[in-house]
Structure 1
Amino acid sequence: MTSDTEQTEPVAGRHPGLRELVVGARVVLWDFDGPICRLFAGYSADRVAGELVDWLEGQGLKGLLTREEQVHPDPHVLLGAVNRRRHRSDLVADFEERLTREELRAVATAWPTAYADALIRTWSALGVGLAVTTNNAPRVVGEYLAGRHLLDCFAPHIYGRTRDLHLLKPDPYCLNRALSAMGVAPDRALMVGDSPSDLTAARRAGVPFLGYAGGEQKAKALRQAGADTVVESLEPVLKLLWENAAHTGA
């Protein structure tokens, strides 16, 4: 049974540092796959990675990947590996386009992250600027957000993968693009991300970071990487916004 004290304790008291991150942000930069949705919830990323490896094998180029990379479950790791070894080649362009098509196919079965839709709409209603800063293709993000009737909360600020693949996170390129376009200083922004590469990109851009972890394993990885504030659900962030709005009359 939950005690009355636990029921009425302010959210910030259970998540030290959260209020300072959330309340002062003029702009929030969201990673996409993880904090907003599980893109490959119904269309396995492992399967996509395997099909991309098979395609390389059909080109006689599987040897571009190490043995560890050939069985890696993250297709973005494979894209990065191929780009490093065949930078700016037609092969890289074809590989990236194939990955984009697979991401687009995955949108139909993507699973919204709990409380993400409500949090996005609440931040937007409070006048906070929102942007997506992701290693996924911008077309994929736009299609997903349109399907959830969230595109107006972000448009036109969707900054995703470009042909310059060396600028993917942990490079801060997409974050810097968002900050410049939205005219906000890094210390007045907040990034919500779920990976150490998101944290690194935020640090390099000078942007405060809120770690979102869908489970203890991801939370541990973020904390080990140096994230000071990590939540395993977006619910406390949403409740904090509500508490602050009620207190200030916003």
Structure 2
Amino acid sequence: MTSETTQTDAATAGTETELNELRDLIKGVRVVLWDFDGPVCRLFAGHSAERVATDLAAWLEGRGLHNLLTESQRESLDPHVVLRAVDHRHPGSDLVAELEERLTQEELRATASAMPTPYADPLIRTWTAVGTRLAITTNNSPRVVREYLASRRLAACFAPHIYGRTQELNHLKPDPHCINRALAALGAAPTTSLMIGDTPSDFHAAQAAGVPFLGYARNDHKSKLLRDAGASTVVGSLKPLLRLVRDLHQA
């Protein structure tokens, strides 16, 4: 697994005003809640999420359950959309449990080719070194998160605070359930915590939990989605964040 290095410093340095906003956001933060797929890594960098969604839909069709998905759900090419749709029709069923396990197995396969988000590893280690506590709050399987973190030797930075998908799919973000679980386990106040996420559902979950939010967007499309959802602070690289964390703790 290798890190992307295509982003230039000029594109990601940010204006002085943006850096000041980012500094204000992270100053005094005691707990950082990370979404997984996006801020920590690109889980499906080499194992297409679109293909996984198509395969899940085909599996349902092979069982004569084609009509469980609407046309737009089939065309979404998002595995979580497929999973949520089936759970909405048959909540808590064996069918949902089997579909969720199939998705988990696909996610586990994807870890072998997952691409670390640039600067995520050193940022995680730096925050840990200065005493900031970290947790993962994700819609992915916690089994997948643990396997990936172990492969990067990052497990100790988060253990045991990994809060991911369960078979209670109504608790997936934008529901704040996983965030609230993390806050309770860490004994953390929402106002001294920070959520880093890359989707509108991350933002809405953080907002519902009362946790300040930092958006990470690896391209303009993702940045627009976050800003349109209401996220006020969005970065295109974790590099300035890493620099600020180092500077704040050296001052």
Mapping of 1:100-249 within 5 angstroms?
100-247=104-251
**Alpha-carbon separation, structure 2, partners of 1:224 and 1:69:** 22
Deviation of 1:132 after TM superposition, in Å, equals 0.1
Q: Is the 8 A contact 1:16 1:229 kept in 2?
A: no
SS of the residue aligned with 2:46? coil
Match in the other structure for 1:46: 50
**Residue-by-residue CA offset, 1:2-52 (whole Å, 9 max, x unaligned):** xxxx9xx99864434211211211000000000000000000001101111
Amino acid at match of 1:92: V
**Alpha-carbon separation, structure 1, partners of 2:28 and 2:86:** 40
**Alpha-carbon separation, structure 2, partners of 1:45 and 1:28:** 27
Deviation of 1:94 after TM superposition, in Å, equals 0.5
Deviation of 1:72 after TM superposition, in Å, equals 1.7
Match in the other structure for 1:3: none
**Alpha-carbon separation, structure 2, partners of 1:190 and 1:229:** 12
**Residue-by-residue CA offset, 1:107-133 (whole Å, 9 max, x unaligned):** 000000000001000000010000000
How many residue pairs get aligned? The number is 240
1:22 pairs, out of 22, 26, 29, with 26
SS of the residue aligned with 1:15? helix
SS of the residue aligned with 1:17? helix
Amino acid at match of 1:171: D
SS of the residue aligned with 2:135? strand
**Alpha-carbon separation, structure 1, partners of 2:26 and 2:35:** 16
SS of the residue aligned with 2:231? coil
**Alpha-carbon separation, structure 2, partners of 1:147 and 1:245:** 28
1:72 and 2:62 equivalent?
no
**Alpha-carbon separation, structure 1, partners of 2:153 and 2:136:** 15
Aligned alpha-carbon RMSD (Å): 1.4
Greater C-alpha Rg: 1
**Alpha-carbon separation, structure 2, partners of 1:140 and 1:38:** 13
Amino acid at match of 1:25: V
Match in the other structure for 2:6: none
- TM-score with structure 1 setting the length: 0.93
- TM-score with structure 2 setting the length: 0.93
**Residue-by-residue CA offset, 1:188-216 (whole Å, 9 max, x unaligned):** 10000001100000011000000000111
Deviation of 1:63 after TM superposition, in Å, equals 0.9
